[in-house]
Structure 1
Amino acid sequence: MALLQPPQSTFPLACATEVFGDHGPAIPARYAYDSLAPLLEWLAGRLDQSVSVAEMAVRSQVSARTLTRRFTEQLGISPGRWLLDRRIAATRALLEETDLPVETIARRGGLSSAVNLRRRFHEALRTTPAAYRRAFRVDEAG
């Protein structure tokens, strides 16, 4: 029985650059089959930008369905959940390390507004950004 080989992509790199120009060229096909690491690294540098699963799939040169399946197989969560988790982690770090207003932190963390940040923060941590910041500062001082 012959071993299955990774599919060779014929997706033109220029197409991805044309559609998502400021996002850069697509990840080379040799990485698309083996690992999500190049995509995750690319996403981590763009937490402040809106990135859809379709854009992630184009970047990885696979369908959105295949990308979602790989996320679930390799990370145990969906692409959207992974991105939201990273955004929450980024906002937590900004709350811990800066005195920036919540609105600025929301934009830098890719959550678009203070209202959305508060809602997402409460869903994830059962607290508000302001209460989190206060608790963290109290823990630091004590």
Structure 2
Amino acid sequence: MRNKRAMAFLPHRVAVLALDDVVGLDLGMPTQVFGTARTLDDVPFYTVGVCAPGGGPVRSSAGFRVLPEHGLELLAAADTVVVPGVRGGPPLDTGTLDPTVTAALRAAHARGARVMAICTGAFVLAAAGLLAGRRATTHWAYADRFRRLHPDVDLDPAVLFVDDGDVLTSAGVAAGLDLCLHVLRGDHGSEVAARAARRCVVPPWRDGGQAQYIERPVPRDPDSGTAATREWARQRLSEPVTLRELAGHARMSVRTFTRRFRAETGLSPAQWLLRQRTDHARLLLETTDLAVEQVARRSGFGTAVALRQRLRQHVGVTPSAYRRTFRVDDALTGGGAGRPARRR
């Protein structure tokens, strides 16, 4: 039986908006990821509901119909609104949207709800006017069409997702998993996100961006990758690792290694190492009582000052503040569940 502390907790409310021609995989991802996020005593961090204009039914792109349990009124009570991708209709064809849907989305955002789009769901947010002047992404195959319809959006088709504060967008299809896990990580910390990822049997973090999946005219040699060197570097995050050493481990010239590394991950070796060290530092802050100076050394930043600067730049807080927010012992016992998910 749940204790009184858990019973008093009100989960963060997530509304998933299904429109005609909704992509089935996109529709199921938020329910799966957020619905899996629980404390060890099985207290859910989120409740997830699916809605549609008029309550549906809604045609999917996979040959079946969806029967949502809610109409657009669900958006009025949601803390987070997720818009899955669509395969056709006015958002993709003309860049327009049903005025009723536009009004509901804009009202939810105006009152403070976090708004997310998966894949071509970015077309829906753009048609509703929620991406104007913002940085966003969508499936790489739709990038040119998106730019034609919405030139006022700063589109970046090379990344897996874009976090622009209270409006977030993901690249194509499975990148929605990356975005949902990113939001979960930001709301409740890396341990909770990693546990949800394990339940979903997916990695808690994927390296690089969407660029590595864009079709290329000439296939790459599968035996000439940098994966083994990346794993070698992960085991040495506390040590200074130079580009020349990375290239040497991969038995490539520096120039060839850098080119192939970026093609495979979407990042330069230096950017990738910085991300790995940041993630490791965050995990140590969440799961250990090591002093900040020790965390900095073990994650490869060397000094507490360098780690503090990086965390301020990356997540906007100091190491001490981050540790107070995401104490894993708090989250695992249900204490972390008492905190409302942060507005981003």
Same fold (TM over 0.5): yes
Following superposition, the deviation at residue 38 of structure 1 comes to 0.6
Letter in 2 for 1:37: A
The alignment partner of 1:74 has SS state of helix
Unaligned runs of 5+ in 2: 1-220, 339-344
Which runs of structure 2 are paired with 1:26-105 in the superposition (5 Å)?
31=223, 33=224, 35-105=225-295
Following superposition, the deviation at residue 137 of structure 1 comes to 2.4
Fraction of identical pairs, as percent? 46
Quote the Cα distance in structure 2 between the aligned partners of 1:42 and 1:113: 23
- Deviation readout 1:51-85 (Å, 9 max, x if unpaired): 01111011111111111111211110000110110
2:320 corresponds in structure 1 to 130
Letter in 2 for 1:62: M
2:168 corresponds in structure 1 to none
RMSD, aligned α-carbons: 2.3
- Deviation readout 1:12-40 (Å, 9 max, x if unpaired): xxxxxxxxxxxxxxxxxx95x1x211101
How many residue pairs get aligned? The number is 115
Instruction: Name segments (4+ residues, structure 1) moved above 6 Å.
Output: none
Unaligned runs of 5+ in 1: 1-5, 7-29
Structure possessing the higher radius of gyration over alpha carbons: 2
Q: 1:117 aligns with which of 292, 298, 307?
A: 307
- Contact (CA 8 Å) 2:287, 2:327: kept in 1 or not? no
TM-score by length of 1: 0.74
Quote the Cα distance in structure 2 between the aligned partners of 1:36 and 1:79: 10
Question: Larger % of helix: which?
Answer: 1
Quote the Cα distance in structure 2 between the aligned partners of 1:108 and 1:132: 17
Following superposition, the deviation at residue 124 of structure 1 comes to 1.3
- Deviation readout 1:65-117 (Å, 9 max, x if unpaired): 11111121111000011011000000000000011100000000011010110
Question: Larger % of strand: which?
Answer: 2
Bigger shift: residues 58-67 or 75-84: 58-67
